[in-house]
Structure 1
Amino acid sequence: MLKYLLLTFLVGKTLLIGKIEVEGVKALSKSEVKSILRMRRGDKYYPPLFNSYKQNLLEELKESGYFDARIIEERVKEENDRVYIYLKISEGPRYILNSVQISWESEDTLFFRKTMNILYLTIPLPYSSALLTKKETEALDFLRNQGYLKAAIERIVTRDTIQKRCGLLWKIEKGPRYKIEKIEIYGNKTVRRAIIEREIKIKVGQYVSPSAILECIRRIYSTGLFKTVYHTYEYLGDSSVKVLFNVEERKNRYIRFQGGVYPFELANINVELGHRNLFDNNQNLSLRLENGFELFNGFAKLYGELLYSEPYFLSTPLKFNLKSFGGTSKVDSTSFAGLETYLSYYWTSKSRSIAGLQWRKFLKGQYSEGVTNKFLFSTVLDKRDDQLYPTRGYVVQLNLSRAGGVLGGDYHFNKYDMSISTYVKIWKPKGVLALRFTSGNLIPLFSSTIPTIEKFKIGGDGTLRGYRYSEFYAISIYLINLELRSTINSKYGLCLLTDIYPQIGGKVFFSAGLGFRYFLPIGNLRVDWAYNPHRFKEKGYLGNLYINLGEMF
Structure 2
Amino acid sequence: MKKIFIGLSFSNIFLLILLIILSTSIPINSQNIILIKGNKFFDENIYLRWINLNNKTNLFAGISDTIKSRIENNLRNEGFYFPHFQSLTVDTSKKLIEISIDEGFPAVVKNIFIKMNFEDSTRIKNYFKVLYDEKFSELNLQSAIDESITYLENNGYPFAKITIESISFVKQDDFYSTNILLSLEQNTKCYVNKFIIEGNFKTKDYVIIRETGIEPDQFYRQSDIDKIKHKLNRLRYFETVEEPIYYLTNENKGVLKLSIKEKETNSFDGIIGYVPSSQFEKGYFTGFLNLNFENLFGTGRFFKFKWQQLNKTSQDLDIKYLEPWIFNYPFNIQVGLFQRKQDSTYIQRNFESSFEYLSNRDFSVSFVLTSQSTISLVKSNRNIYNSSTLSYGFALKNDTRDEIYSPTSGILFNGSYKYFSKKFNDFTISKTSLQKIEFDFSFFTELFFKQILALSIHAKELKGNLADISDLFYLGGTNSLRGYREKQFFGNRILWTNLEYRYLFSKYSFGFLFFDTGYYQLNENQSFSIQLQKDFKIGYGFGLNIETGVGILGISFALGKGDSFTDGKIHFAIMNEF
TM-score, with length taken from structure 2: 0.57
In the alignment, what sits opposite 1:459?
Answer: 476
Distance 1:528 1:124 in 2: 59
CA–CA separation in structure 2 for the residues paired with 1:476 and 1:241: 59
- Distance 1:98-1:496 versus aligned 2 partners, 3 A rule: farther
5+ residue gaps, structure 1: 1-64, 74-90, 156-168
Give 1:337's aligned residue. 349
Match of 2:457 among 421, 437, 440: 437
1:533 aligns with 2:533: no
CA RMSD of aligned residues (A): 5.5
Q: Which runs of 5+ in 2 are unaligned?
A: 1-49, 59-65, 80-108, 165-179, 274-284, 379-383, 523-531
Where does residue 317 of structure 1 map in the other structure? 330
Number of the residue aligned with 2:307:
290
**What is the deviation of 1:415?**
1.1
- Cross-structure match for 1:145: 154
CA drift of 1:224 comes to 7.4
2:368 to 356, 360, 367: 356
Partner of 1:485: 501
- In the alignment, is the contact (CA less than 8 A) between 2:248 and 2:254 conserved in 1? yes
| Alpha-carbon distance in 2 for matches of 1:206, 1:478 | 47
Q: Could you give the per-residue CA deviations for residues 249-273 of structure 1, whole angstroms, max 9, x where no partner exists?
A: 9699933438999xxxx99745115
Separation in structure 2 between the aligned mates of residue 472 and residue 119 of structure 1, nearest angstrom: 64
CA–CA separation in structure 1 for the residues paired with 2:503 and 2:567: 26
SS at match of 1:381: strand
Query: Do 1:435 and 1:483's aligned partners in 2 also have CA atoms closer than 8 Å?
Result: yes
Task: From the superposition, tell whether residues 439 and 133 of structure 1 become closer, same or farther in structure 2 (CA, over 3 Å).
Answer: farther
Confirm or deny: 8 A CA contact 1:273 1:287 kept in the other structure. Answer: yes
Aligned to 2:387: 370
Task: Write the letter of the residue equivalent to 1:304.
Answer: L
Structure 1 match to 2:513? 495
- Name 2:291's counterpart in structure 1: 272
What displacement does 1:511 show?
2.1
Which of 423, 433, 448 is residue 466 of structure 2 equivalent to? 448
Question: Which secondary structure state, in structure 2, belongs to the residue aligned with residue 473 of structure 1?
Answer: strand
- Secondary structure of the 2:187 match is coil
Say if 1:260 and 1:224 are closer, same or farther in 2 by CA, change over 3 A. Answer: farther
Task: State the shift of 1:402 in Å.
Answer: 1.4
Residue 143 (structure 1) shift: 4.5
| CA offsets 1:47-76 (integer angstroms, 9 cap, x no match) | xxxxxxxxxxxxxxxxxx99999xx99xxx
Preserved contact between residue 554 and residue 573 of structure 2 (Cα < 8 Å): yes
**Number of equivalenced pairs:** 431
Q: Which residue of 2 aligns with 1:420?
A: 441
Aligned partner of 2:222 among 188, 194, 210: 210
2:569 corresponds in structure 1 to 544
Amino acid in structure 2 at the alignment position of 1:309: L
Partner-residue secondary structure (3-state), 2:567: coil
Counterpart residue identity of residue 284, structure 1: R
Structure 1 segment 42-121 matched on structure 2, within 5 A: 97-100=74-77, 107=116, 112=124
Which amino acid is the alignment partner of residue 76 of structure 2? S
1:312 offset after TM fit, Å? Answer: 2.9
CA distance in 2, matches of 1:528, 1:498: 13
Letter in 2 for 1:418: F
Q: Could you tell me how far 1:186 is from its partner in structure 2?
A: 5.1
Deviations 1:154-204 (A, max 9, x none): 99xxxxxxxxxxxxx9x9976524311732445678877666665565456
- 1:493/1:68 CA distance change after superposition, 3 Å: farther
Distance 2:453 2:253 in 1: 46
Aligned partner letter, 2:187: P
**What is aligned with 1:515?**
542
Distance 2:323 2:254 in 1: 32
Aligned partner letter, 1:497: F
* Structure-2 change in CA distance of 1:216 and 1:443 (3 Å): same
Report the alpha carbon displacement of residue 343 of structure 1 after superposing the two structures with TM.
Answer: 0.6
Q: C-alpha displacement at 1:475, in angstroms?
A: 0.6
Maintained 8 Å contact 2:396/2:415:
yes
Q: CA deviation at 1:455?
A: 0.8
Equivalents in 1 of 2:272, 2:416: separation in Å? 25
The worse-fitting range, judged by mean Cα deviation, of 517-526 and 208-217 is 517-526
- Between the aligned partners of 1:124 and 1:518, the Cα distance in structure 2 is 54
CA distance in 1, matches of 2:504, 2:320: 41
Q: What is the rounded CA distance, in whole Å, between the counterparts of 1:219 and 1:201 in structure 2?
A: 9
Deviation, 1:457, is 0.8
Contact 2:483 2:568 survives alignment (8 Å): yes
The one-letter amino acid of 1:178's match is K
Q: Distance in 1 between matches of 2:217 and 2:328?
A: 25
| Alpha-carbon distance between aligned partners in 1 of 2:390 and 2:193, rounded to the nearest angstrom | 52
Alignment of 1:211-230 (within 5 A): 211-213=223-225, 215=227
> Retained in 2: the 8 A contact 1:511–1:530?
no
Over 3 Å counting, the alpha-carbon distance change for 1:304 and 1:503 in structure 2 is closer
Work out which of the two has the higher radius of gyration on C-alpha atoms and give 1 or 2.
Answer: 2
Deviations 1:490-513 (A, max 9, x none): 675542423142647866423242
Rounded to whole Å, the distance in 2 between the matches of 1:154 and 1:407 is 78
* In structure 2, C-alpha distance between the alignment counterparts of 1:422 and 1:192, rounded to whole Å: 33
Distance 1:516 1:476, change over 3 A: closer
**Contact conserved, 1:182 with 1:242, CA < 8 A, in 2?**
yes
Change (3 A) 1:94 1:389: farther
The Cα shift of 1:300 comes to 6.4
Task: Identify if the C-alpha distance between structure 1 residues 316 and 410 changes in structure 2 by more than 3 Å, giving closer, same or farther.
Answer: farther
- Check 1:478–1:273 CA distance in 2 against 1; reply closer, same or farther (3 A cut): closer
AA partner of residue 546 (structure 1):
H
Report if aligned partners of 1:336, 1:363 keep a CA contact under 8 Å in 2.
yes
Aligned position for 2:190: 179
Partners in 2 of 1:472 and 1:498 — Cα distance?
15
Query: Could you tell me how far apart the structure 2 residues matched to 1:325 and 1:439 are?
Result: 22
Question: Is the alpha carbon distance of 1:395 and 1:308 closer, same or farther for their aligned partners in structure 2, counting shifts above 3 Å?
Answer: closer
Contact 1:104 1:173 in 2 (8 A): no
1:466–1:194 Cα change, 3 Å:
closer
**Residue 168 of structure 2 corresponds to which residue in structure 1?**
none
SS at match of 1:440: strand
* 390 and 544 in structure 1: CA distance in 2 versus 1, 3 angstrom threshold: same
Looking at structure 2, the residues matched to 135 and 430 of structure 1 have their Cα atoms a distance apart, in angstroms, of 35
Matched-pair contact (CA < 8 Å) for 1:260–1:548: no
Conserved 8 A contact 1:289-1:302: no
